[in-house]
Structure 1
Amino acid sequence: MTSSNFLTLLKVFTEIVNKSFKTGNIEHLKAEYDAQVGSSDNDRKAALHQAFRDLLLTKTCDIPAIEDFINFAVAACRQEMTSPTIPVVLLGDIFDAVTLDKCEQIFTYVENNVATWKEEFFFAACKHNLLRMCNDLLRRLSRSQNTVFCGRILLFLAKFFPFSERSGLNIISEFNLENITEYGVEGSEMGDQLGSSEENATGNQLKIDYNLYCKFWALQDFFRNPNQCYNKVQWKMFAAHAGSVMSAFSSFKLEEPRSAPSSSSSSSSSGGASRSVPMEIPLEEQVRETGHFFAKFLTNPKLLSLQLSDSNFRRSVLVQLLILFQYLNSTVKFKADNHCLTTAQVDWLKETEVRVYKLIEESPPNGRKFADSVRHMLSREELWNSWKNEGCKEFKRPDAGGPGGTNSSSTGATAATGGSNGEEATPPMPIRVAMKRPRRALGDLIQDSTKQGKFFMGNPELTRLWNTCPDNLLACKGEDRNFLPSLEAYLDGSKEKHDPSVEWRALRLLARQSPHFFTLFNSPSYKVADYLESVRKKIQKDKIDVQREVVQEDTPMHPEQGETEGEGFGAEEETDQMDSELLKTEQLTPEDKNTHKTITVTLDQMAELAPSIGKDWKKLATKLGYGSDEIQYCESENATVTDQCRHLLQVWFEDDMDASLDQLAYILEGLDLLVAADAVKQMISALTGDDKVEEISD
């Protein structure tokens, strides 16, 4: 397709798409598309794609219009006027053109239309584009500041791709070796004793010293990389550390649940805590009152004695041991050939596993129920392990009412409760039925809350939070929850503007709040502080322009003003001159007022400076960022050295928006061309009328 034909089609389709979108008539666009019979289908699609992309970039400020335009593009795809990838391409374009705050709002549209992207018509063509778009967004986001947005993107990918998508699976069973747990002594006064001792049932005392502390936290390295256990030396270390930790758990008394004060007087050891409680409290009520979760525990040595008495902490470590035991005993497709256990090691794992389950059952609250849940979860994990060994085959929904429906479900239940060690493990002990208080019906609770004008959320804490404000959505949008300052206020209020941390925060705010972040600056001597100062001036100038437009719109035009065009033009010119003077006097800082950046350099003045630079103009050209081919072209076009230098200065002053006499003098001083730098300073003094020009310093 020739360029003239493409431009003709692009102009036609741009007008038709714009009109069809405003009227919401896709059939009008279809008719015009079919009318272009003189061009091939590929030529028409290429021109229509470009028309869609050009029109979308004119709607960056109107998010509802962006969503409607994407829906219009989806409708065009269904009419086979564009390729199925064009809606995702448009989304990628708009995400690249707007700030992060608007990206988060537009991404809601992507989430709500996940069913559209999963259609057979779009999925095969768009899945790679959507994945690339989401990865580009994740690279722009901060994992600490934009945690919620990052989580939304990952959840969308999980909903969009099928469960058996290989790009989201750990096919070769790699471990996260970067998850390192750091621990050590903090302070020299720690000594041998870390905490107080507790007496166990036999009257012995548990000594919580630095040796136990190191053994305890050294287990995390084996949990991080279980393959170490196949090494004989590492296995001995792991077995010794695990035995010491379980002995500590057996000897150390657990804290009683806060929701059962009567149980503290009826037990004196960890074993008695789970066997002598007269009445078990339902697990649901205990979770409501004391439920908590820690992704990682602190490793401070002074906390070990408190952690050993925490039931939740103990369960976390014991479950990690069971997971490790299961991995060592199971058959994994990608294990090395030498990764196998001896008979003695297998026997040790069996004995230790029984001991670990016993410790879990003795950990209040509801130790036996928790142990049964862990045993069930690990048996289900065997099914996932088998699925991965078979190559992660795609899941297919069985036919409803098929002959194998009942048998398959019963087989799955048997497999879930069996597993590799289902025959060897001892059957679970019968669970004591807990006495429960009669609970009111959920409908009655909701009805009573509605009569009082409140919400009932089923959880005491959620109910309290939900009733804090009559309109919670309005409270979440309140200005008091916006802790980010405006960019202009931050730049004006920052005292240490050359501090790297201040510059970094200013750039983060600029990326979120202003499109000026995407302007290019490639001057050799451009500092971040100077760039931020120029952005601040641009923002202030934009505000003045907006205010001037508002004033002009609100001011009615008098009849005599419309009769004489010359007077109107003079008034507009006078307004521009006033704005220019305002920018010069009010918006420039005292440092910028002395840099003479507003001086216009003429060709005669460039010719006057050229002899002082002379044959060193090539060194100056290299410093200004020009390549060897550009220098050679300048040398071939001009005969004398003076003309070559003058041509270089002319090109630099025309192309570089930040070119100035001050910057030229600064660069010449850096190149040790002091004579030329003095000539530039004298020219500055002559142009500004100053008898004394300050020295340019770094």
Structure 2
Amino acid sequence: PEVPPVHVRPPSLAPPTCFAYIPQRSLFQELVALILHHRQLQGMDLFRKAIVQPGLPQDFALQTVQEAIKPQKHTKLVQDENQLLENILRTLLQELVSAAVQSGEEIMQYGQSVAEGESTEGQIPRLLDIVLYLCEKEHVEGGMIFQLLEDLTDMSTMRNCKDVFGYIESKQDTLGKPELFARGKLVMLRTCNQLLRRLSKANDVVFCGRIIMFLAHFFPLSERSAVNIKGVFNTSNETNYEKEAPDGISIDFNFYKTFWSLQEYFSNPASLTLAPAKWHKFTSCLMVVLDTFEAQPLSDEEGNANNLEDEASTFSIKYLTSSKLMGLEAPGKSDKDLPSETLKEELKTCEDRVKKLLTVTPPKGEEFLRSIEHILERERNWVWWKRDGCPPFEKQPIEKKSVQDGAKKRRPRWRLGNKELSQLWKWADQNPNALTDPQR
């Protein structure tokens, strides 16, 4: 019998054995993507014309959105339309930032012109103003302006970020409105935290302070994200000092190490109560420092020689721990649990000694001590507030119920004609006897 032919599948048609099957987009999907891309380009062209158009944003902003998106509703976009508009604006913003960088201009001043003595704002602030107006009037999704601001800070250098943040500060009241705040508070918090991480805490103190002050005003007082409920200490902020004495030093290096070693305990005070040996070491070091300061008090002449107002411009948030400066900065075991009463007595003794030293330290020792006590009092109240569950400080105003127009307010009816007589009648079970009661 004849052997049937063996049909061998061509290699080109053999199923892949080592690669996963990757589905290809259909022709319909390609067509949809092409249409969306075309609409995005058209929308970018319309907004390019809008940002150079004179006038207020309310004069043309909504019309520009309607021409770019062609929404189903006249004044408010649905989800897909919001997404398309966001893609248009974010792409346009990236394009403007790139153009500003290539031109060498500051991004917030890019496109700014001066004509006939009148200056126009840059194209990027103009774009942000348009989007902010649309978000405020709820024509578009309220979080869109916050997303653009986050993109802008991510694409900017720290020098340009100062200008961007200046714009944010100028629009703080509008951004803080309830309809916008609820949509963008987390994005704004993330944006500010990213800026703080990029900044140097030693060299950019003023900018860091601006960001923190903005957050304090932007978020309500009872915002839990800034409360530090657990009271965690910032142990990462270490104070570095010299562990070995350098050659040719003329100070008491043991006192130098003892003095700066106290910062290790101050950075995490809670750890002292958990280890009695650590507490005893801390108190012994503290006594050495206090004894030295009490034995060699600072004179009035030495205190007045340091003008704190003049030094404010060069103030640093980190301590100067060099051993070479020590002569200028300062004159000249049990394993059982520490009883709480003993701990309180030792703390009280140290507190009294420190207060006495601060009082006699010129200049303005008493004034400085009062400031410290005021700060500690506020901190104590802050701890109690967190302990009570952070109740809100804000109290909503009581709304008075307004009577509808044209409706007459019904007067209450009393059994005996008026309120006083009706109350008098209810004072006793036997009302005639109440009239002769001497206690009435």
Relative to the length of structure 2, the TM-score reads 0.63
- Cα distance in 2 between the residues matched to 1:98 and 1:341: 56
Alignment map for 1:207-218 (pairs within 5 Å): 209-218=252-261
Residues 50, 64 of structure 2: 8 Å contact kept: yes
Matched AA of 1:224: S
| Higher helix proportion (structure 1 or 2) | 1
Residues 49, 82 of structure 1: 8 Å contact kept: no
The answer for the alignment partner of 2:183 in structure 1 is 125
Alignment map for 1:459-608 (pairs within 5 Å): none
Equivalent of residue 26 in structure 1, options 45, 55, 61: 61
Matched AA of 1:357: K
- Cα distance in 2 between the residues matched to 1:144 and 1:369: 28
The answer for the alignment partner of 2:424 in structure 1 is none
The answer for the alignment partner of 1:307 in structure 2 is 329
Secondary structure at the aligned position of 2:301 is classed as: coil
Matched AA of 2:80: D
- Summarize the Cα distance change of 1:182–1:45 in structure 2 as closer, same or farther, 3 Å threshold: same
Displacement of 1:4: 6.0
- Cα distance in 2 between the residues matched to 1:132 and 1:112: 19
Deviations 1:32-57 (A, max 9, x none): 47965499833333333333333334
Displacement of 1:20: 4.7
The answer for the alignment partner of 1:46 in structure 2 is 83
**RMSD after superposition:** 3.9
- Cα distance in 2 between the residues matched to 1:378 and 1:76: 46
Equivalent of residue 367 in structure 1, options 365, 368, 375: 365
Displacement of 1:176: 2.2
The answer for the alignment partner of 1:345 in structure 2 is 343
Secondary structure at the aligned position of 2:392 is classed as: coil
Displacement of 1:6: 3.8
- Cα distance in 2 between the residues matched to 1:97 and 1:290: 36
The answer for the alignment partner of 2:353 in structure 1 is 355
- Summarize the Cα distance change of 1:184–1:85 in structure 2 as closer, same or farther, 3 Å threshold: same
The answer for the alignment partner of 1:251 in structure 2 is 295
- Cα distance in 1 between the residues matched to 2:70 and 2:325: 78
Matched AA of 2:347: L
Alignment map for 1:34-113 (pairs within 5 Å): 36-37=71-72, 41-60=78-97, 61=100, 62=110, 64-113=122-171
Deviations 1:223-273 (A, max 9, x none): 122234322212222222222222212211423236879xxxxxxxxxxxx
- Summarize the Cα distance change of 1:359–1:101 in structure 2 as closer, same or farther, 3 Å threshold: closer
- Summarize the Cα distance change of 1:379–1:91 in structure 2 as closer, same or farther, 3 Å threshold: closer
Secondary structure at the aligned position of 2:300 is classed as: coil
Displacement of 1:174: 1.5
Q: Does 1:160 align with 2:218?
A: yes
Residues 254, 309 of structure 1: 8 Å contact kept: yes
Displacement of 1:85: 1.7
The answer for the alignment partner of 1:268 in structure 2 is none
- Cα distance in 1 between the residues matched to 2:154 and 2:358: 52
- Summarize the Cα distance change of 1:59–1:173 in structure 2 as closer, same or farther, 3 Å threshold: same
Residues 259, 289 of structure 2: 8 Å contact kept: yes
Relative to the length of structure 1, the TM-score reads 0.42
- Summarize the Cα distance change of 1:359–1:27 in structure 2 as closer, same or farther, 3 Å threshold: closer
Figure out how many residues of one structure are paired with residues of the other and give that number: 334
Displacement of 1:351: 2.7
- Cα distance in 1 between the residues matched to 2:46 and 2:356: 75
- Summarize the Cα distance change of 1:34–1:349 in structure 2 as closer, same or farther, 3 Å threshold: closer
- Cα distance in 1 between the residues matched to 2:267 and 2:341: 24
Residues 184, 301 of structure 1: 8 Å contact kept: no
- Summarize the Cα distance change of 1:308–1:99 in structure 2 as closer, same or farther, 3 Å threshold: closer
- Cα distance in 2 between the residues matched to 1:89 and 1:139: 19
Displacement of 1:127: 1.6
- Summarize the Cα distance change of 1:122–1:294 in structure 2 as closer, same or farther, 3 Å threshold: closer
Secondary structure at the aligned position of 2:265 is classed as: helix
The answer for the alignment partner of 1:221 in structure 2 is 264
Equivalent of residue 278 in structure 2, options 214, 229, 234: 234
Residues 229, 235 of structure 1: 8 Å contact kept: yes
Which runs of 5 or more residues in structure 2 are unaligned?
Answer: 1-28, 54-58, 101-109, 112-121, 399-440
- Summarize the Cα distance change of 1:225–1:113 in structure 2 as closer, same or farther, 3 Å threshold: same
Residues 14, 48 of structure 1: 8 Å contact kept: no
- Cα distance in 2 between the residues matched to 1:257 and 1:92: 53
Displacement of 1:65: 1.0
Residues 199, 208 of structure 2: 8 Å contact kept: yes
Displacement of 1:147: 5.7
- Cα distance in 1 between the residues matched to 2:322 and 2:156: 45
Displacement of 1:210: 4.3
Displacement of 1:119: 1.0
Equivalent of residue 389 in structure 2, options 378, 388, 391: 391
- Cα distance in 1 between the residues matched to 2:337 and 2:220: 33
The answer for the alignment partner of 2:423 in structure 1 is none
Residues 272, 279 of structure 2: 8 Å contact kept: yes
Alignment map for 1:619-638 (pairs within 5 Å): none
Matched AA of 1:185: E
- Cα distance in 1 between the residues matched to 2:227 and 2:338: 25
Secondary structure at the aligned position of 1:257 is classed as: helix
Displacement of 1:27: 4.5
Residues 146, 184 of structure 2: 8 Å contact kept: yes
Residues 180, 224 of structure 1: 8 Å contact kept: no
- Summarize the Cα distance change of 1:366–1:22 in structure 2 as closer, same or farther, 3 Å threshold: closer
Displacement of 1:164: 2.9
Matched AA of 1:367: G
Matched AA of 2:242: Y
- Summarize the Cα distance change of 1:125–1:346 in structure 2 as closer, same or farther, 3 Å threshold: same
- Cα distance in 2 between the residues matched to 1:373 and 1:144: 24
Matched AA of 1:227: A
- Cα distance in 1 between the residues matched to 2:352 and 2:44: 73
- Summarize the Cα distance change of 1:65–1:225 in structure 2 as closer, same or farther, 3 Å threshold: same
- Summarize the Cα distance change of 1:136–1:106 in structure 2 as closer, same or farther, 3 Å threshold: same
What is the aligned-residue identity percentage?
29
The answer for the alignment partner of 1:590 in structure 2 is none
- Summarize the Cα distance change of 1:141–1:187 in structure 2 as closer, same or farther, 3 Å threshold: closer
Residues 13, 47 of structure 1: 8 Å contact kept: no
Deviations 1:624-655 (A, max 9, x none): xxxxxxxxxxxxxxxxxxxxxxxxxxxxxxxx
